[in-house]
Amino acid sequence: MGLGKTLQALALAANFRGDWPAIAIVPSSLKDQWNIQIRKWCSNLFEDIDEQLQIINSGSDVVKKNIKFLLCSYEMASKVDAKTVNFQLAILDESHYLNDLKSKRSRTILPFIKKMKRIICLTGTPALNAPVELYVHFLMLYPTKISLNEFADRYSIRKYNKFSRRIEYSDIRLEKELYFLLSYTFMIRRKKLNVLQELPDKIREPIFIDILEEESLPIQTKLKQLQGNILSNVESKLLINELFKLTGSAKVKILKSYIENIMHKAHKCVIFAHHIEVLKKIKEIIENLRYNYIYIDGSIAISSRKKYIDQFVKGDASVAILSVLACGTGLEFSVADSVVFAELYWVPGVLLQAEDRVHRIGSNHKTIKVYYMIAKNTIDIIVWKKLNKKWKSLSSGLNGLTETFVNS
């Protein structure tokens, strides 16, 4: 979120350097940034930083026995031999990566982490989608005998999701109690309100657009199917995914004039989308408008992304076309003053994190404009309402007050 979590974590780790060797588990795309920051702020804590600070880049890398600080990705953490070095301090950057207790990542990393004396978790969005996702942080930082089901039943509301055809834990209950519990046990919540003098204003603007009639008809047909309660869970998921793709494709056909208008007012602009087809169509639009741009989706190797980012941050590229999942966390684009979401996403935390690639400390702009492209009479309307409802629910438990997605 651009509030200095990395530096705060390093300061805390330095204070407890008697418990080193330390390990920092971070998203793969952030390893180089962490390496730079450790060398910048903590070099005096090493006798020989080149020997005692190690980065694990592949499963064949062997952990040195004399290291003081190990950097690795979530993917490589399972390859670290815990018997080689007695780690007693861990930093987990973007710790919400472990929210799904059933995932292979969580099942591998949590037993390793829970044995350590000190754990520092960093995340701007500890729960991306629902309050029940907070449970993993209780497991790591405040071990209790409360089961996941007990936690979910106390702080969430069980509801039947007519789209997924499942019982889900969604809306929050006892939000003041949950906020008190988090705040007085392990959560230090740094909010942008606390550093507003160092941050530009952020203005969100939903733009409701009309798609072409020939594009609207198949979408309307499938929406009626979805709302008819005659589909299986699998069929509903497939139909929702198809609706997202159809809506994205329909929007992109009329986005040119909107993007052109935004670019007339923007210094540099970041455009997020989810589907590859939509990202590539946006690339065509930007090429036709003759703007210099960079393009990064999940297929671009992490080792290659830095040169593209530098072209945008330091070079003459004025547009960054980015996958919201591949580039929505960890990276910094504070040189931009405008953000466009060509597609929506179900999870409010994903969108908020993507916004904060631009709305960060270090920006020289007075105002950051964030535009959400919402197609009328499509699944976008359903998703936009859901996003606001989910963020209203999550924010009350995390921040102690209710915020709407539009005005937060």
User: Of 345, 367, 278, which Cα lies nearest the Cα of 125?
Assistant: 345
Residue 20 lies inside a defined structural domain of this protein:
yes
User: What are the residues facing 319 on neighbouring strands?
Assistant: 269, 293
Q: Mind listing the pLDDT tens digit of every residue in the chain (408 residues)?
A: 455 788 899 999 999 999 999 999 998 878 888 998 999 899 999 999 999 999 998 888 888 888 999 999 998 888 787 667 889 999 999 898 898 888 899 999 999 998 899 999 998 777 767 778 888 888 888 877 778 888 888 888 877 666 656 677 777 778 888 888 888 888 887 665 555 555 667 888 888 988 888 888 888 888 887 776 655 565 667 778 888 888 888 888 888 888 888 888 888 999 999 999 999 999 999 999 999 999 999 888 887 888 898 999 898 899 999 999 888 776 888 889 899 999 998 888 888 889 888 877 667 777 888 999 999 888 899 888 888 877 777 766 666 555 655 544
Q: Give how many domains the chain has, as a whole number.
A: 2
CB 334 within 8 A of CB 358: yes
Tokens of 371: 């535009």
- Any domain includes 180: no
Alpha-carbon distance of 193 to 180, in angstroms, equals 19
Instruction: Choose one of 89, 123, 157: the last residue of a domain.
Output: 123
pLDDT of residue 46: 93
109 lies in some domain? yes
Please, what's the b/e burial string for 320-330 (b: 16 or more CB within 10 A of its CB; e: otherwise)?
Answer: bbbbbebbbbb
202 in the same domain as 101 = no
Predicted local confidence at residue 296, as pLDDT: 93
- Specify the residue for token string 């589907």: 275
Q: Which of 327, 330, 368 is nearest to 345 (CA)?
A: 327
Same structural domain, 222 and 369:
yes
Q: Please say which residue of 123, 158, 178 terminates a domain.
A: 123
Residue 185 lies in a domain: no
Q: Which residues of 269-308 are buried (b: 16+ CB within 10 A; e: fewer)?
A: bbbbbbbeebbebbbebbeeeebebbbbbeebebeebeeb
Q: Is residue 174 part of a domain?
A: no
Return the CATH number at 319: 3.40.50.300
Residues 204 and 307 occupy one common structural domain: yes
Burial class (CB in 10 A: 0-12, 13-18, 19+), 402: middle
Range of the domain at 238: 198-399
Whether the full predicted model's pTM is greater than 0.85, yes or no, is no
> In the 8-state DSSP scheme, what is residue 161?
E
Query: Is 364 a domain residue?
Result: yes
Looking at 75, 96, 123, which one is the last position of a domain? 123
| pLDDT value for 179 | 82
Query: Are 238 and 366 part of one and the same domain?
Result: yes
Note whether 116 and 219 are same-domain residues: no
| pLDDT for 183 | 81
- pLDDT, position 1: 46
pLDDT confidence of residue 185: 83
